[in-house]
Structure 1
């Protein structure tokens, strides 16, 4: 972008403002109260599912093996952790983030009693380009890393953020400091002390996948990818050829013919005109306004409609009056304007 000249206006502005004291904008703070930045870059095309392996060593010293020129891991450092009693996958280790982040799609999968612990956020987040984003809230959760035999745990303050991400959350510098962890993106592993030694978590790639995995305290069935099926329109009532039904296009010709014959034999159960909707006994279906006695009704101010919409309103009202569903009355204490909504065929 620099070579293409698309950032020349930014560079020119930086040169002009270099050495000058910038005026403080409304909502900004100074010193220790400055909003801290979240520094993390991730390409969605390189999102991969990873298997997390765990190993324990009685050695208390944390060290990493030497690597050759063509050795080393690629991609972000991913681990699994128990967060608030849930086993959460795709937790990114990011030493550049000054906060622990929990994305909204992961937060919504937590149990209600856990979600109810969220409180309003007191600090905003600042991105690379300087944009300020306020989190949905913040929540303190117990994070456990490791298995039942060797593990460490600590309370971490998570910022709940609404943003598209291949991760469920981010563990930043404060969380790494609490569990005394030493990550190595080059080695694709993270080490931290536990009782009697050192625990190592290492991630290895398996297959590319769209990852947003989180499991609750009980086993849940994996989500099923639903493929959108194309449908075709079929007219089954010769008296109303403009009214059609939708049938799946993946049906065989024989199955489609049988289905159309079944629908044609049962056309009496469909409401083809407004008059077909009358005559239902009240013990089966009844509509009423649940109005409290003694309360004054509300009257809306009349709103004008466009000419095209007025024609549609008059046509619809005429049909309902002719069918006996509506009738004209004269009172002005309970009035509501019609709401016009376009159908799928733009009518």
Structure 2
């Protein structure tokens, strides 16, 4: 089987599209056969084996493990030899292939191998030939500045190697501070993005406290070594210190018409509750709505005025910020005839 330039027309390059074919196996037309140029074994999955109505007694023992690309290991049910017909008359070939029958979920019925080893490999026991290593202290008195060398070196070669390493200590980086001012021509990280695509704002990721602290420590090391610099809240990145009201929930209230029944008032108050922490003195602002739920429904001028005022307020809702460890915050308390409101406030110096 081969392909030419004509076959590649219309295919975006480079690509990794799978090659899936149909063959006749054991006298049955078998679909969803993946040609894997990385597998070292021909694999047939148990559901396909059963659909071919083959007797399990035809399976011969196979004791080696199969290892997938992801590292998963499985023992095959056995190995079976089947006749495979490739192509159609008059251009066809017939082969006898050995299939390892595997019982695990997969999107294909059969995987046909080629010469390289990648997706499924047969694990064979090998002797452990890893050379033992010894730690060598390159700077006297500084245990952290060590490296490891092999233990099979001759005494003369060992001495020369250690001396060579000590004479070239400048190539070792023991910490972030040891690699400042690396030229971009040597290495740099960049985002591989399409400049013609509109940036999409990322959602803020939330980590467990211990993981968040570990990330903060590593970032601080890079900042102190002047290897990275802060970028202050670009529009296409999620603002990590600001919390904004859900735009969809805000828009749902802005799009509402004046309620005409108790049920519509209940829907309005439910939507307000979802945004309660973004609405200053929410109870006072919404009191006219709540009163309509305690008596016969009547949408008064006062209700309408409160409704329009709420819409105007939510057209530009406030942003909340996360508190910082060790900072001073102030408790703001507001009381009215109907409610008591509180808020935690932080002072920020803004130029």
TM over 0.5: no
From the two aligned structures, give the one with the greater helix fraction: 2
TM-score scaled to structure 2, two decimals?
0.35
Give the greater-gyration-radius structure (CA): 2
